[in-house]
Amino acid sequence: MLTAGRRPARSVTVNLAESPLGWLLARGLIDTRQFDAGEKLRGDWEAANLAPQITMRWDAAPRASGRRGAPEHLDASERQIAARRRFDAALEALGRDLNDIAWRVICAGESVPVAEKGLGWPVRSGKLVLRMALDRLADFYRLPGLGR
């Protein structure tokens, strides 16, 4: 039943597990190559263990084995260091103009409007700048794309 001057209530389903990049991809605001580039950066962020920790790690201590594996068989510390180097190189490739929005949306999981507000940018400018950052990341990670 409608009362004078009031709109009917609407319900919205929100997938809290969906990342901001997943949301943009699902709505056609970024393409698959851009999404994959963002996921690679987020993967390096997570593998480098750069997210804030709230408690101590309860992983088993590494065992001394006396022999070192081949480069493709890196131990956990070496994989973490390699991921950190890739992450730092990717942010350097983005440059200061693009790495802020990329880090906020991809790694920190902020929505584009929240990132825009945090950076003091005009409304709706973040999607354009984020798309440029994702294109540059895709080039950095050498992802295949049309005409590239």
pLDDT at 75: 76
Spatial distance between the Cα atoms of 79 and 51, rounded to a whole number of angstroms:
16
Q: Is the confidence at residue 89, as pLDDT, over 70? A: yes
Per-residue pLDDT, averaged over 19-34, amounts to 94
Per-residue pLDDT, averaged over 119-138, amounts to 95
Q: What percent of the chain has pLDDT over 90?
A: 57
Spatial distance between the Cα atoms of 16 and 96, rounded to a whole number of angstroms:
30
pLDDT at 8: 74
Q: Confirm if 79 and 108 have CB atoms less than 8 A apart.
A: no
pLDDT at 15: 62
Q: Is the confidence at residue 34, as pLDDT, over 80? A: yes
Residue reference for tokens 């993967």: 43
Burial class (CB in 10 A: 0-12, 13-18, 19+), 132: middle
pTM of the model: 0.74
